[in-house]
Amino acid sequence: SSHDVFAAVDLGASSGRVVVGRVGPDAFDLTEVHRFANRPLRLPSGLHWDIGGLYREILDGLRAAAAHGPRSVGIDTWAVDYGLLDATGALLGLPHHYRDTRTDAVAPAVVEKVGAAELYAANGLQFLPFNTVFQLAAARGGAQPAAADTLLLIPDLIGYWLTGERGAEVTNASTTGLLDVTTRKWSAPMLAAAGVEPSLLPPLRVPGSRIGPLLPEAAEQTGLSGVEVRAVASHDTASAVAGIPARSERFGYVSCGTWSLAGLELPAPVLTEAAREANFTNELGVAGTTRFLRNIMGLWLVQECLRDWGLTDAALPGLLAEAAAAPAFASLIDAGDARYMPPGAMPERIAAHLRETGQPVPEGPEGRGALLRCVLESLALAHRDTLRRACALADREIEVVHLVGGGARNELLCQWTADALGLPVEAGPVEATAIGNIAVQSHAPDSPEDLAHLRALIHRTQGPRRYEPSGDRASWDAAAARLGLR
């Protein structure tokens, strides 16, 4: 038929899902067949991903997808984290979670040794303590690295379990710190500087390429037969950006879930001293693009407040109504501050910051709406600052901001991002990541024209909701000034 079916496995930091996409010349329909929570494990050895539990959920999801008859499967997850395999292919221990604090002391030491400018010139990455290169430095001397034969990033590990094939998909490899952002190949100098054996890293693969057919045991457990696994943009943020329903080239984006990843899609990296000082990253995208962006703490702040209060996302509509009724700009935080990175006691950490800076502290259950307002206004200000800086650093102008991911369901955040920037926000799709994953399987875009064509299809079929800027710009300017932001 003129329609083809594909399955996307998309693991976010807060939840995972398996989505089936039916794609045709004028169709792009999604069906979510399985969704599951992603809850980290805290062990004496630190914070880990429950990779076995996640893999079981993936198999269950693929079994549910089998009934739809997918041609292929694509896998994307969060970036930077990895598993180590021994020479027989067995996984050595549970992968660490990027929020584990073991890298905190090590990362600055590596930067000092190699040189911040040298690192940036080679890998183009913003400094984040959890970049793979720093995790490997923290692991050095341990039993697992000593026994390791191959390093696989999380989507590549799942792909290996499904197919037996080892490789490193390039968009996600670009988040490790070990890839040369200009040549798009593993960087021998970075490997040497980090003390990583080149043989630890598997060959690179590009989005759209074939990984391999399912192993018999994977076929048996999922009921999928004659199905292959395809490389997609396996970094979830790269898939989300591929899935943006842009109609103009002049767009900025916020991929807004656990993190807010705010920035621009560019034809080439920006490796200037100014970009390095502003801590902007150059991650690789599909069709030869660069994702020039910065990480903002994102809805993690909300997730961790809810967890502390013993609530779930189901409480959000009520709390958001309270936030809408709370006074504007009463208290503000720096939503880029690394102090919010580890899990635990989020309302208390925010309150401590507000006390330190002499701002009102919303107290008790009655103060939850006000605290949420503080977080969301602060996020909107961080979106504004980051997109304005990105435009200045890349010498670009934008006329619209696409906000995709779970945050697109948050009307206050969408409207306030539009108000703060004085630009329209086009919100959605919520599942841009799964859409980008499926789009790469169906079309393997390898030029900017292909990508634009695909995005037009996504716009026609998954139309975003538009928020026009409104309200009082002067008060957003004043609020930004209070935080020292643009």
- Interface residues with ligand LRH (CB under 6 A) are 12-13, 78-80, 98, 235-237, 258-259, 261, 295
State whether the Cα torsion 179-257-293-246 is positive or negative. Answer: positive
Q: Which is nearer to ligand LRH, 213 or 269 (CB)?
A: 269
Site for ligand ADP in 314-343 (CB under 6 A): 316-317
Least gap, CB of 335 to ligand ADP (angstroms)? 14
Of the residues 100, 156, 236, 334, only one is catalytic, namely 236
**By CB under 6 A, is residue 299 in contact with ligand ADP?**
yes
Least gap, CB of 172 to ligand LRH (angstroms)? 8
**Which DSSP category does 328 fall into?**
T
Least gap, CB of 478 to ligand LRH (angstroms)? 31
Per the DSSP assignment, residues forming a β-bridge with 18 are: 9, 34
From 6-14, 22-30, 270-278, 287-295, span contacting ligand ADP (CB under 6 A): 6-14
Least gap, CB of 443 to ligand ADP (angstroms)? 23
Q: Which is nearer to ligand LRH, 57 or 236 (CB)?
A: 236
From 196-204, 207-215, 380-388, 399-407, span contacting ligand ADP (CB under 6 A): 399-407
Q: Which is nearer to ligand LRH, 79 or 326 (CB)?
A: 79
Among the listed residues 171, 303, 331, 417, the single contact to ligand ADP using CB under 6 A? 303
- Residue 261 interacts, among ligand ADP, ligand LRH, none and using kind-specific CB cut-offs from 5 to 8 Å, with ligand LRH
Q: How far apart are the first and last CA of the chain?
A: 52
**Is residue 100 annotated as part of the catalytic site, yes or no?**
no
Least gap, CB of 241 to ligand LRH (angstroms)? 10
Which residues neighbour 332 within 8 Å (Cβ) at sequence distance 6 or greater?
A: 359, 374, 377, 378, 381, 479, 482, 483
**By CB under 6 A, is residue 12 in contact with ligand ADP?**
yes
Strands 228-230 and 72-77: parallel
- What single string gives the DSSP state of each residue in 234-295? -BHHHHHHHT---SSS-EEEEEESSSEEEEEEESS----HHHHHTT-EEEE-GGG-EEEEEE
User: 5: closest CA among 91, 73, 56, 55?
Assistant: 73
**By CB under 6 A, is residue 258 in contact with ligand ADP?**
yes
CB–CB of 286/445 below 8 Å? yes
76 CB-side CA count, 13 A: 33
Among the listed residues 313, 322, 446, 477, the single contact to ligand ADP using CB under 6 A? 313
As a whole number of angstroms, the distance between CA 7 and CA 20 comes to 4
193-200: long-range contacts (C-beta < 8 A, 24 or more apart)? Answer: 193/113, 193/114, 193/118, 194/110, 194/114, 194/133, 194/136, 194/137, 195/136, 195/137, 195/140, 196/133, 196/136, 199/149, 200/148, 200/149, 200/150, 200/151
**By CB under 6 A, is residue 14 in contact with ligand ADP?**
yes
Q: How many residues sit in the footprint of ligand ADP (CB under 6 A)?
A: 17
As a whole number of angstroms, the distance between CA 289 and CA 182 comes to 11
- Residue 410 interacts, among ligand ADP, ligand LRH, none and using kind-specific CB cut-offs from 5 to 8 Å, with ligand ADP
Least gap, CB of 393 to ligand ADP (angstroms)? 25
**Which two structure tokens, joined as six digits, stand for 208?**
């759209």
Q: Which is nearer to ligand LRH, 64 or 264 (CB)?
A: 264
Over the window 262 to 291, marking each residue x when it contacts ligand ADP by CB under 6 A and - when it does not, the resulting string is: ------------------------------
**By CB under 6 A, is residue 252 in contact with ligand ADP?**
no
Q: Which is nearer to ligand LRH, 49 or 467 (CB)?
A: 49
As a whole number of angstroms, the distance between CA 405 and CA 403 comes to 7
> Dihedral (C-alpha) 288, 70, 456, 240: value to the nearest 10 degrees?
-50
As a whole number of angstroms, the distance between CA 229 and CA 214 comes to 7
**Residues near ligand ADP (CB under 6 A):** 12-15, 257-258, 299, 302-303, 313, 316-317, 405-407, 409-410
Which are the catalytic amino acids? 236
